[in-house]
Each structure stands twice: as C-alpha cells, then as structure tokens.
Structure 1
Amino acid sequence: MFRLKKSLLLSAFSISFFAFSQGTFASSQYPQMYENQADSKDAKSVRSFAAKDQIDSEISRMISDPVLKNANWGFVVYDPVTQKTVTGYNENSALVPASTTKLLTTDTAYDLVGEKFKWKTQLEYKGDIDAEGVLNGNLYIVGSGDPSLGTRKAGAASYTDISSDYLRAIAGAGIKKIKGDIIIQTAIFKVNKSPVLPENIVWVEDGNYYLPVGTTTDINPRNEKLTVPAKNPFSENERYFYVSPYAHKMVFANTFDGKNFLSTALPEAPSYLATLLRNSLIKSKVSVSGTVINLKTQPKAENRKVLYTYESPTLEEIIFYTNQHSDNGLAEAIMRMVGFQKYGDQTVTSGKEAVVDHLKAIGFDLNGFNYIDGSGLSHSNTVMPIAQAKFLASRMKEEYFKDYFDSLPVAGQSGTLKHMFLNSDANGQIFAKTGTLNKVKALAGFIKTKSGRTLTFSLLVNNYAGSVNQVKQKMEELLAPTLDL
C-alpha cells in the first residue's frame, strides 16, 4: 500500500511539473469546459487532496494574520462541471465586490445586444441647398448614447477626427453656408434593435431609427389599430410604435394623442461634438446662423438626408477595454445603455433595473445582493462569493462566452493583473476581474488548473488592515495551490 501511495505521489509530481511547464504562459486563453483529463483518477485525487490541505492551511494563516484578523472576507472555488463547491471560506457572506461588479454589467450588455453591437452617431440635414451652396435648414446630429465617442478608447475616434469627417461630408454635399441650427437628437437605430422596443416610450420611425416623442401614459386604446406581428415588428410605413399600457404588447397607432413630453431622461447627447462642429464650420468659412439645440421631443417624423454615419467600436472591443483597464466611466455608460435599450431611457434607475432583471432571469442568487452602480465604485454594492462563482460558471454555456472570457485580465500578463502572480504557478493560469476600493480588495474569475480543469472563484476582502500590497500577497498565497485542484 505504501509503495502504491509513493508511486501515485511521484506520478502526480511528474504530471504537475509537465502541466506547469506547458501552461504557465498560456498561448490559448479560452478554456474548454469539458476537457478530457490527462491524469489518472487516482493521481488527480492525490494532488487535489494535497492542494485542499494547502488551501486550508492558507485560510487558517489568513484568519490569524494581523492584516486580515479583523477583516470581513470570503473565498470560494466552484466546479462548473460537477456544479459543486470545491473549497471555500465564508462564501455565503454578503461582501463589497468593488470592480468585480463590472462582470455583471458587461455580461448583461452581451446578453441584451450582442458582441457586435455598435453605436451610431449620424449627421443629417433637412432643407434645400441652393445654387450658391446655402442650406436653408438645419443640420442634425443623431446620437445613440455612444460611451466611447471622442475618447479614443478601444479604438474609438477622437472628437476632432469625427468633426473632420463631418466637415468633409458637408463640403461634399456642396454646403457653404447654413441658415439654421445644429440640432442634437437621440435615437435607437433599427440595426441594433431587438424585436421588442423599449417600454413606456413612443417612437416614430424616421428612415432607419426611432426617435422619442412622448409617453404612453394617456394613449387612447382606440388608436391601437393592431398588434405588430412578432416576426415583423418594424414597418417601413410611418407609425407611432409603443408598448401598450393596456395590452402590454407592442402596437402602433396612426396618431399619437398622449402627452407630448418625456417622463424619463434621454441618453446624454453628443453636445461637445455638436459645439466643436459648429466652431469648426465657422473656422472653415462656413457660417452658421443658428446655435446648438438639444431637441427632446419630435411629434412628427421628418424627411432628412444622411450626410455621414460614424460607428463606434464593437461592444466586444469596448468591453475588452472596460475589463482590462477597469474603466469606471465606460462601465457606467454600458449600464445606462442596457437601460436605454430595454426601457427607453438612460437613467441609472433603468440601467440598474435592466441588469437586475437579467440576473433574475438567469437564476443569479440575490441573497445579500445589492447592485448600486455599474462600475462597483459604491461601498453599498454587496454580493456573496458563491453567487459570483456560480454566475461565472453559468456564463460558460453562452455563445458569447469566449469574448467575455477574453476580456478578463490574465495573471502576470495583462490588464490590472499584469503585476500580480509574477513568480507563481498562477502566472498565465488565472483570468479574473480585479476590484480595489478603500479597504476593499476583490478578485473573481476563472482558474485553469494544471490538469486542464476550468474552475471559477471569488475572493472578496473587506475592512482589512495594512496596505493593498499586503492583501494582494495574501491573495496570491491563497490562490496558488488552487492550480493543483
């Protein structure tokens, strides 16, 4: 029996060494959920038991460590295949997750609009251009809440570049003088729309997008001519589309007789771009008689001509940038975008509601859960480590999982994890979102073990003493043996 045990231990050591030498700097990051394991069942068991013992020892050391002695913290490793907890400590406690909150926000966006979603910012005009190049009418900038507009983030163009493209389009149309205003509007473009329009906002189709014109509060049900068939929710004819407050279905009416104002805020329009364009036109000797106006409502559709359409980077590219850099501004904008896409406005309330609705729909454990913002900046956000780990496991079944997974920083190699796990087995084997606030350090994501298993984990530390670097060192020491599970 002793010989057998010794043989198994030697075998486990050999396989661990081989797996480490092959996997420390992962050339292919994307995990396969159900891989064939190279180890024998006995070898895996021996190594797993040894790893669990080491993890238990690290947990005991962390409990008594001066930095964490009075802290609130929880830890869990979860197996997506067996759907069981592998190891953990205090995993059912509600803790502040910091920027690991972005895991929920970005996943909701992927689920709602897909990884190839792009925001559009369109330049149009209405009116006639006479023989001398005078536009007797207005220019329109129709935005859709692009969070990357003008920032250069994720490959987005700068405001100056977009304005230059607009100027060339205006010159190409022969416009040399504008007797009118530059009007900003917000729209949802049909190319980015799901078959169901947002609730509680009436939209009038104008070419290839929808513009808000009011609320459905006082819509007369007698104007509901018919329910739009599910297979063809968009009509090329001018109609007023809305979600019926009576039938709770999408319908259209030939006339709109509700209140002609918006009950909720519209997405932030590209005001800076519009002002820059006006100044650039004047500098280019193209006079503009009017001013920049933000148009909140439009009761009637207008016949306009499109001069130029700027498209943002894809949602995939923006989410990659968001998670790699832990960009709070983009995360908040993404949360507002999903609220706009689902409920017709871009308020924090609608964004939060859209994310929570998504989490409810996928069976997320809401015990102890509190979702205050899209970025994780609030100390009032709370979540259980086990809820995070199970959530990440459930994402592995989604079609967009590869893009979602690839957006995460890699231990010792990229993003906010580039300077962690540099001299550890975990280098190149942990793919996770970090989180840092005052007295909060968090990490949640995926572990690619030496045997090829893909596990999910969550490690949330609140109210610690000492420095952030001390906590990061404790995290590395605790997670290192998980590679042998």
Structure 2
Amino acid sequence: MRIPYFQIVSFLLVTTLTQAQTLNQKLQTAFNHLQQDSQCRYASISLTVLDATTGEQVFAANPNMGLAPASTLKTVTSITAFNLLGADYHFQTQFGYSGTIDAGGTLNGDVIIKGGGDPTLGSWHYPTTKENIVLTQLITALQQSGIKQINGRVIGDDSIFDTQSIPDGWIWQDLGNYYGAGASGLCWRENIFDIKYETGAVGSPVKVLRTSPAMPYFDFKSEVITSAAGSGDKSYAYLPIGNKSMYIRGAYAIDKAKKSITVALPDPAFDAAWRLTDTLKRLGITVSHDPESTVTLAAKAEQAPVISKTLTIISSPELSKIIYWLNKESINLYAEQLLKTIALKAGKPVSTKMGVETLQNFWKVRGIDTHTLNLYDGSGLAPADRITTNTIAHILQTAVNQPWYPVFFESLPLYNNMHMKSGTIADVVAYAGYQTHSGRKLCFSAIINNYNGSTTAVRQKLFKVLDELK
C-alpha cells in the first residue's frame, strides 16, 4: 500500500522534533548536574547550542551572561579576519635603504626592514618564513644591489602599528612570557626566545645557562629557586620597558626534563635588525653603526628614515594558513596582530582599541549587540574580556556557508574527539566549536567562570555535558 506523501512528511517532522527534544532534555540534565557539582557551586556557567545550518537554537542555558571567554575568543577574531581581510590576504614586509651607493659599493645611508604587521616573519611554522630563509633573502637582495659595506645602520621599523604593544587588561605576570608577547608592526621569530636553565639542589638558585638564540644585548638576573620534584614550572620572566636587565622569578622543579622556558621579546624590530647586522658582519659586509629600532630611535628623539629604494618585498603565507596555526596552537600574538590589521585595513588609527571597535562594528551590522562583545584584546588573554556564549555560537554559525569554512574548521583542535577551540586562564574553562549529532551539524559555545579546585577535573565535567552533542 502506498503511504500518502503528507504522512511521510508528518512522520519525518515528528521524528526530527522528537530527536531535538531528546537532545535538549539530555543537555538540560547534564547541565543541571554540572551546575550542582561542588566545583561549580559559586561558578557562572553558560552554554549555547545552535543548528549550524539554520541558526535555530537547540539549547541555551544562561546564553546572555557576559563571561571571560579565554582563548575561545580567537574563534571570533579568526572569523572576523576572514571576513574583513580575506582568506588569501598576505602581509608584506618592505626591505630597502635610504641614501646612496657609491662607486665602490658603500651605502652611505641606512638599511631598513619596514614591517607590515606580519606575525610570521622568522617563524618556524612555515617553510618560507624560517629565520635563516628570511635572512638569506635580505642578504641576497643587498648583494644584488651592489652593496659591499654600509656606512650607516640596520633599522627595524615597526611604525605601521601604534607604540602600545600590550593590550590594556593584560596582567603583569603574563607580559614577559611567550604567551604574553606583544604585537608589533615588525615581528621576528614570533617575538619569543628560550632561556635554558641549570637546576641545583632543592632550595638553591636556578642558573641561566644560555639562551636560544643568543641574546648578548640582555643581562639575565635569575631569582628562580629549584623546587621539589613534581612541582612543575612556576617561573616567570619580567622585563621593564627600556631596561636591558631581564629578571626571572619563581620556582622550577628539580625533576623537569626540559629545563628551559620560553619568554617574550620586548622589541622584536630591534632583534630583527640585530640579527641582520650580525649576519652581515660575519659575511664580511661591515656596518659602521649599531642596529636600531623605532623604539631605540625614539629614545634619541629620532625617527626611522624613509626607504628611498626598495630591494625586495617579503610576503607572508596566506591568512588561511596563519589562522590554522593561530587556533591549533592558540598563538596570542597572531590574534593581536590580526586585530590591529583589521583596523589598518579599515583605514582607522592602528591600535588594539580600534581593532576591537572595527570588530564590534562588523558584527553590529549583522545583528549582534556590541554590548555582548565587551573586549580588551583579540586573543582572550585579558581577564576582563566579556562575551556571551550566544554571541560566540552565532558568529560560529555565520562561518558555515563561507568558502573558507573548511579551512577554519580544520584549524580547530580536536579535544574530547570534538573539533573545538579551548580557552583556559585563571578560573576559566571554555570551549567553542562544531559537532554533528544524528546527522545534524551543530555549533556551540560553553564557558565556566569562577570554578574552584582542579582545572583538569572541571574540564572533564564540562566534557560530560558536551558529550551529549555526539
């Protein structure tokens, strides 16, 4: 017997509604259980789940509560950058000189590396951006121009960005460490380097053996104490602006195998200029003066000269590849560079504040209340950032039908067998991403603030809630 068409449609509709109700009920039960857990007694918890195709709300608990998102904010920054810059966007670094070259091949002027905001210059993440590759390109360009010696300086010019490298709201303890590396118009080696330790007996000082790469223009002062086995790395680097003395404070476990920490480079433009100067001298190309940067010149009330002759342009990998590593390794620097770049592309004064404003305005036009995007940065490192899970989920949903969505989806790490970006700062655990449930593609944002006890334990408890989406 042939079943009437309307009965088939009715059956499918009822089946879909039943599945949705079942998922909603399961999520509600799991969410309630999490809220009642002793670790979350005083916590603020929010979860929003949407149909990734239609934007229909599947589940919501406290969806409009403003919470610190930690690194899940990077999904918002990434999607905004894809929209405003384009997946094929390339940063460009200009290399050239001021002055003139005489008949003997002496440049009477300065060699200038003028940054374009590229976060990948000197980075190890891409075959074409590694430090030795970039330095070879620069040296080859100089040699092809006929320059045999330089009566002047090598200058790292980062003036395309403003002078405030650190966003308002970042805490002092973070700033000297790799994840607190500030933005720069001229980045170099992701604005970080390694300090190698030598531990002693428990309670004795930890010595600085060396750095990688060598940092001869820094004086390192270790106040780190060797701590008991199992206590981990609790050492932090501190570098006052304009001071060549880097202090390292805290404790480092006697049993840690790596015996090194990664710290922030406060003036990457200077380091880029220093590396090129050092390489040139080792190749027999003399440079008469010490390297400079926009920062060191400003201390002398000078500005970087304008490039009169461009020798080469170094292009970054396309934006889609940058965002891949931004999210895979949660690189705060990349997010902050993108935030300033969208302000630059919009023709606004370049600053973190203007980047936030550009981001807010983009989403305001698309129906998102800017009060749900109360932000201080693009990476989520600022503890004062506030955003709602409803807003994150809706921004995730807008990405699904974009041509760059597959690349963005692949940039999200795999946690708990789910493609999602994690976020963790003090007393914050968060996740945002996508999951397919019974053939239905979902997007979600989950945030917990102010939990107590073990981060690992509360993360596993949140995973139990998100397991209902599988």
TM-score, reference length from structure 1 = 0.66
User: Structure 1's 327 and 72: CA in aligned 2 closer, same or farther, altered over 3 A?
Assistant: same
In 2: Cα distance, 1:98 partner to 1:156 partner:
31
Matched, 1:162 2:134: yes
SS of alignment partner, residue 68 of structure 2: coil
> Which of 85, 101, 112 pairs up with 1:113?
85
Q: Deviations over 1:390-448 (max 9, x none)?
A: 221122243433332222123xxxxxx2xxx2xxxxx3xx3221111111111112122
Residue number in structure 1 paired with 2:26: 54
Aligned match of 1:237: none
* Shift, 1:101, TM fit: 0.9
* Equivalent residue runs for 1:333-352 within 5 Å: 333-352=337-356
Aligned length: 351
Decide whether aligned partners of structure 1 residues 395 and 137 sit closer, same or farther in structure 2, where only a CA change above 3 A counts.
Answer: same
Alignment-derived partner of residue 289 in structure 1: 288
Alignment correspondent of 1:330: 334
Structure 1 residue 322, shift from structure 2 partner: 0.7
Is the CA contact (8 Å cut-off) linking 2:273 and 2:293 kept in structure 1? Answer: no
Q: Tell me if the contact between 1:155 and 1:313 (Cα under 8 Å) persists in the aligned partners.
A: no
Matched with 1:171 is 143
CA RMSD of aligned residues (A): 2.9
Aligned twin of 1:255: none
2:448 matched to 1:476? Answer: no
Aligned to 1:437: 425
Alpha-carbon distance in 1 for matches of 2:307, 2:339: 31
Q: 2:312 aligns with which of 289, 304, 308?
A: 308
Work out the percentage of aligned pairs sharing the same amino acid: 29
Residue 277 of structure 1 corresponds to 276
Is 2:98–2:305's contact at 8 Å kept on the other side of the alignment?
no
Q: Is the 8 A contact 2:40 2:451 kept in 1?
A: yes
The 3-state SS of whatever aligns with 1:287 is coil
Q: Is 2:45 aligned against 1:73?
A: yes
- Cross-structure match for 2:109: 137
Matched, 1:462 2:459: no
Structure 2 stretches of 5 or more lacking a match? 1-8, 161-184, 186-266
Q: What is the CA–CA distance in structure 2 between the aligned matches of 1:372 and 1:302, rounded to whole Å?
A: 34
In the TM superposition, structure 1's runs of 4+ consecutive aligned residues that sit over 6 Å from their partners are: 295-302
| Aligned match of 2:68 | 96
Alpha-carbon distance, 1:108 to partner: 2.0
1:144 CA drift (Å): 0.5
Residues 210-229 of structure 1 correspond to what in structure 2 (within 5 A)? none
Measured in 2, the distance between the counterparts of 1:283 and 1:392 equals: 50
Instruction: Say which one has the larger Rg.
Output: 1
CA distance in 2, matches of 1:126, 1:360: 44
Is the CA contact 2:413–2:419 (under 8 Å) kept in the aligned structure 1? yes
Deviation at 1:125, TM superposition (A): 2.9
1:372 aligns with one of 360, 370, 376: 376
> What is the Cα deviation at residue 142 of structure 1?
2.1
**Contact 1:77/1:87 (CA < 8 Å) preserved in 2?**
yes
Q: Pick the aligned partner of 2:58 from 83, 86, 96.
A: 86
What secondary structure does 2:59 align onto?
strand
Measured in 2, the distance between the counterparts of 1:150 and 1:41 equals 56
For 1:174 and 1:130, the matched residues in 2 are separated by 10
CA distance in 1, matches of 2:154, 2:404: 39
Give the structure-2-normalised TM-score: 0.67
Runs (5+) with no aligned partner, structure 1: 1-36, 189-210, 212-267, 411-416, 422-426
**Contact 1:74/1:90 (CA < 8 Å) preserved in 2?**
yes
Q: Which residues in structure 2 correspond to 1:228-243 (within 5 Å)?
A: none
Q: Deviations over 1:351-398 (max 9, x none)?
A: 222222222232223344311111111221111211211221122243
The equivalent residue for 1:383 is 387
Contact 1:154 1:318 in 2 (8 A): no
Q: 1:155 to 1:355 in 2, by over 3 A?
A: farther
Aligned to 2:275, what secondary structure does the other structure show? helix
Amino acid of the residue matched to residue 271 of structure 2? Y
Shift of 1:186: 5.2
CA–CA separation in structure 1 for the residues paired with 2:135 and 2:142: 10
* 1:406 alignment partner in structure 2: 410
For residue 469 of structure 1, report the CA deviation from its aligned partner: 1.9
Aligned to 1:360: 364
User: Does structure 1 residue 447 correspond to structure 2 residue 435?
Assistant: yes
Give the direction of change, closer, same or farther, for the CA distance of 1:78–1:137 in structure 2 (3 Å limit): same
* Structure-1 separation of matches of 2:425 and 2:303: 43
1-side partners of 2:307 and 2:97: how far apart? 10
Greater shift after overlay, 437-446 or 292-301?
292-301
